[in-house]
């Protein structure tokens, strides 16, 4: 069953007035359509400025489309009453790139995980505390971390805390907007493995937004390539990315560095050799 349906969505932003008093509009998204199944991870990959983060904000309801429709759990939730939209939102959570900005610096880890639970559940104080400690453990943090403030965690630990908060309500869909791009490769691999674990355990759906096609390949079931506000290419399996044909897709694939340093050296030398041969 489709969990998310995006149909003919376009979005533009109004620019500042010109010297002659006219306002201009810059089109960010144009006629975007796709759907997602329950338990699926759909990768949205593209370079900076391709419109992928704006798409994530539209799905989350942080901005509204100029035209088109977004159905979540078969409901046009952006046009629901405030009460019904609140009920739907518990099933739609997000993890963003800048984890330090996403965490209230005055709240402890315990309070950060408890915040969404207080909005939707009527737990006793003891039950709430137990649930918060369980989620800290689930994402690889210790119970002794519960009363730490965000600045006392490393970047990777902060992102684990953001993931725990997003998962606390057992949502159906999580929008991951560049969720691992600010981390080094070792931490990226750890966070991706953690996300994969939760995806399998809870049959979660992810909208995985990234410029990193290698990370997207690892987590996604299907991949859409965006360029200049449009979806320009599709891969129905992460194993078929090499079959992507659009120039934006080839550019992203060519930007990947091999995992082993020796392979990187051979690749660079091969490029130099080809360039010299073309002279």
Domain boundaries, the chain: 2-17+24-255
Determine the average pLDDT of the residues in 134-138.
97
Q: Please report the pLDDT score of residue 18 as a whole number.
A: 62
* Higher per-residue pLDDT: 204 or 26: 204
User: Which run of H or E residues covers position 8?
Assistant: strand 2-14
Nearest to 181 by CA among 205, 206, 215, 148: 215
Torsion angle in degrees (nearest 10) through CA of 214, 219, 225, 228? -90
Q: Which residues pair with 35 in a beta bridge?
A: 5
Q: What backbone phi and psi angles, to 5 degrees, belong to 189?
A: -60, -40
pLDDT over 70 percentage in the chain:
89
Per DSSP, the three-state class of 273 is helix
Per DSSP, the three-state class of 233 is strand
Tell me the C-alpha to C-alpha distance, in Å, between residue 166 and each of 10, 19, 89, 196, 230.
27, 45, 11, 15, 28
Annotate 200-214 with b (16+ C-beta within 10 A) or e (fewer).
Answer: eeeebbbbbbbbbbb
Report yes or no: 117 and 168 within 8 Å, Cβ to Cβ.
yes
Q: How far apart are the C-alpha atoms of 64 and 159, rounded to whole Å? A: 27
What CATH number should be reported for the domain whose range is 2-17+24-255?
Answer: 3.40.50.300
Q: How far apart are the C-alpha atoms of 167 and 203, rounded to whole Å? A: 12
Q: How far apart are the C-alpha atoms of 80 and 176, rounded to whole Å? A: 24
Determine the average pLDDT of the residues in 153-177.
96
Q: Given a cut of 60, is residue 270 above it in pLDDT?
A: no
Q: Please report the pLDDT score of residue 97 as a whole number.
A: 87
Q: Please report the pLDDT score of residue 99 as a whole number.
A: 86
Query: Mean pLDDT for the chain?
Result: 89
* pTM, to two decimals: 0.88
Report yes or no: 175 and 210 within 8 Å, Cβ to Cβ.
no
Q: What backbone phi and psi angles, to 5 degrees, belong to 140?
A: 90, 20
Q: Please report the pLDDT score of residue 263 as a whole number.
A: 47
Report yes or no: 81 and 70 within 8 Å, Cβ to Cβ.
no
Q: Please report the pLDDT score of residue 136 as a whole number.
A: 97
Can you tell me which residue has the tokens 């560049």?
178
Q: How far apart are the C-alpha atoms of 225 and 39, rounded to whole Å? A: 20
Confidence of residue 70 (pLDDT cuts 50, 70, 90): very high
Q: Please report the pLDDT score of residue 277 as a whole number.
A: 55
Per DSSP, the three-state class of 246 is coil
């Amino acid at each position: 069953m489709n969990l998310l349906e995006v149909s003919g969505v376009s979005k533009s932003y109004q620019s500042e007035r010109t010297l002659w008093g006219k306002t201009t509009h810059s089109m960010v998204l144009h006629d975007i359509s796709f759907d997602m199944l329950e338990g699926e991870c759909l990768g949205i990959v593209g370079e900076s400025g391709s419109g992928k983060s704006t798409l994530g904000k539209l799905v989350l309801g942080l901005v509204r489309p100029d035209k088109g429709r977004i159905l979540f759990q078969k409901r046009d939730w952006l046009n629901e009453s405030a009460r019904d939209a609140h009920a739907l939102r518990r099933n739609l959570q997000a993890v963003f790139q800048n984890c330090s900005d996403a965490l209230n610096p005055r709240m402890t880890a315990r309070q950060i995980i408890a915040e969404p639970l207080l909005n939707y559940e009527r737990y006793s104080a003891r039950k709430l505390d137990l649930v918060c400690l369980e989620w800290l453990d689930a994402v690889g943090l210790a119970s002794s971390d519960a009363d730490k403030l965000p600045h006392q965690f490393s970047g990777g630990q902060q992102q684990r805390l953001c993931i725990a908060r997003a998962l606390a309500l057992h949502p159906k869909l999580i929008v991951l907007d560049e969720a691992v791009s600010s981390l080094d490769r070792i931490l990226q691999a750890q966070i991706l493995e953690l996300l994969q674990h939760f995806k399998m355990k809870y049959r979660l759906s992810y909208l995985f937004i990234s410029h990193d096609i290698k990370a997207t390949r690892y987590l996604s079931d299907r991949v859409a390539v965006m360029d200049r506000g449009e979806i320009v290419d599709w891969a129905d399996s992460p194993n078929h990315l090499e079959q992507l044909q659009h120039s934006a897709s080839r550019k992203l694939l060519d930007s990947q560095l091999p995992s082993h340093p020796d392979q990187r050296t051979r690749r660079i030398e091969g490029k130099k050799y080809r360039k010299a041969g073309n002279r």
